[in-house]
Chain A
Amino acid sequence: MRNLFAIVFAVCMAHAKATANDSEIVLNIRCVYGEHQIDLSRGPFQANDELQTQIDVLRFYLSDIQLLQNDSIVYREPNSFHLVDASLTGSMRILVDKFNMNGGKSGKAPFNKIRFSVGIDSATNVGGAMAGDLDPTRGMYWTWQSGYINVKLEGKSKKSSAAAHDFQLHLGGYAEPNNSLQIVMIRTKEVNNVTIELDVKKFIDAVNMGENHHVMSPSLFAVLLSKFFADAFSVKSQ
């Protein structure tokens, strides 16, 4: 009897974990390289293409998540800062509380677009020490010159002219003209379990890495790369 209860309980828990509860919308972040999923939890990702791309680090901030029906915002997540890290499975899943939608009225408000920022806005950048995903121990803060690193991508690619074909792209900068915060708006038909895909291949294909394989501070070039990075997001139907 007690065993049976335990099993039922375990099944319920597993179910709850997989689908989240009714009041939430799940945003899954899927990082891919073309056809292949990038999962860094078990070590670097190695592509078998002509560039021999290897990815060691892939981390970025998603912030200010909004759901829109056409052009009106039906939900804007408060205190919306998420550090997505391809080596931490838990960071690839963001739960949005539906009960806050529709101006506090519960229930499902329709939406057909998702808008979010890649990076950290300038007000937060000058706001002093912050907690949670914004804590400087997360390794996404420059120490010698204040500011968040919006995107970290490190690895190897034949495109890089560095000694070992390595590249290290730390994209950030909040002050004009080097503000590299990007806003992404994508349409979605799915409204409960949305998969946002980031295709790193698309980004690397767009980047001229020849001389610029190490970007470690704010610059106009970092702004350009940030635009390419934002362009690599799309919504995938399940």
Chain B
Amino acid sequence: MNRLRKIATIFALSLLAMFTVAFHNDRLLFIVPDGWPAPVYDFSKNELTQEKVELGRKIFYDPILSGNNTVSCENCHSPYTAFTHVDHALSHGIEDRIGTRNSPALMNLAWQSSFMRDGAINHLDMQALAPISSHTEMDSDISDVVKKLSAHDEYPKLFAAVYGRGEITGEKILKSLSAFMLTLISGSSRYDSVGRGLTSYTTQENNGYQIFKRSCSTCHVEPLFTNDQFMNNGLPADSALADLGRYNVTKNPADFLKFKVPTLRNIEFSFPYMHDGRFRNLSQVLNHYTTGIVQSISLAEQLQYPIRLTSNEKVDLTAFLLTLTDKSFLFNPRFVAPRRPTR
């Protein structure tokens, strides 16, 4: 009886929570999963509506954003691989020019306070300006994009439906893209189901979880699996790209070789790994953490002493990491290209 009442209360509370955070719309556009912190993104400056999210989605998948109309955001951020560049260490863009970094998975962006591996971008709205203007990515310019969208036969109507009368502006394009990207929430993995008491781990997964909490979770902090900070996780510097990470932005020597701690959600699909995509699989990653750490002044304190894992423990840890795969995120029909692509 007592237990029944408890379940009923939990059910009622979660329903309530779901409704209070859903933005005024019949379809729930943005739901903070149970037990997650409040998002960082200020929705009061960019209220989500169904039309705005759909407009942003259309823009995201439209190569009109690139100089010669061939490259869309999807080229480097595919929905079926947690929005990272399918199987490419370094992303390549327009005319196959190679970039200098591996494209990160896009998810749970509303909880992120800075963007890019080195945090060069300070707000989700401003992110799209970087690829649009980059010579190796889309090689265009936001003013050009405004012109092209304004002359298009569909976009002016769609913008008017979202923002009212008035011309298409850079601000409106950027906010629409943010609106779509904000809805890319991954919080329904097996890990989450276990947390909600809906299922339980296998012995192997549970062993892996204990190892994870011991060795990894101070940086890859639950439930987002990142602490939203920049750290040096002991990778040897890559002499070819000479990427100094966070130092590039702050010019502070203490930030040498520090990179954003990435989320580990959907890690099964977001290979290759690290800022330059140097590791092709999780076993290479685990070998790095056990035997590959390079000492340097900015190396994170947690990694000063080697993490020791037997091969069985590595298997267990990997089994746990695979519980972070979220099928309902990877195959969400609302995230893929809209049915009628524009040309």
A135 touching B122 by the CB < 8 A rule? Answer: no
**Chain B at the A interface: mostly helix, strand, loop or mixed?**
helix
Residue of chain B at shortest CB distance from A131: B171
A4 contacts chain B at the CB level, 8 A cutoff: no
Measured CB to CB, the nearest residue on chain A to B122 is A146
Cα–Cα, bound, A126→B142 (Å): 19
Q: B69-128: which have CB < 8 Å to A?
A: 120-126
B45 near A127 (CB under 8 angstroms)? yes
Residue A136 at the chain B interface, CB threshold 8 Å: yes
- Residues of chain B within 8 A (CB-CB) of A175 are 250
**Chain A facing B: main interface SS:** loop
Interface readout for A126-139 with B: 1 if CB under 8 Å, 0 if not?
A: 11111100111101
CB-based closest 3 A-B pairs: A128-B125, A129-B125, A129-B174
Count contacts on B: residues with CB < 8 A to the other chain. Answer: 27
Interface residues, chain B, CB within 8 Å of chain A?
A: 42, 45-46, 120-126, 129-130, 132-134, 142-143, 146, 169-171, 174-175, 178, 249-251
Q: List 7 A-B contacts (CB under 8 A).
A: A128-B174, A129-B123, A129-B126, A136-B129, A137-B143, A139-B143, A143-B130
Number of interface residues, chain A, beta carbon within 8 A: 20
Q: Is the CB of B126 within 8 A of A135?
A: no
> In the assembled complex, which residues on chain A have CB atoms less than 8 Å from the CB atom of B251?
219
Specify the chain A residue showing the minimal Cβ separation from B248: A145
Q: How far is the CA of A135 from the CA of B143 in the complex (A)?
A: 10
Q: How far is the CA of A143 from the CA of B134 in the complex (A)?
A: 8
Decide yes or no whether A188 CB sits under 8 A from chain B. Answer: no
A143 near B132 (CB under 8 angstroms)? yes
Q: Is the CB of B130 within 8 A of A136?
A: no
Contacts of A143 in B (CB 8 A): 129-130, 132-134, 142
List A22-44 residues whose CB lies under 8 Å from chain B: none
List 8 other contacts, CB 8 Å, given A137-B142, A143-B134, A143-B142: A128-B124, A128-B174, A128-B175, A129-B125, A129-B126, A129-B175, A144-B120, A146-B123
CB distance from B207 to the nearest CB of A (A): 43
Which residues A144-199 have CB closer than 8 A to chain B? Answer: 144-147, 175
Known: A128-B123, A130-B171. A137 touches B146 (CB 8 A): yes
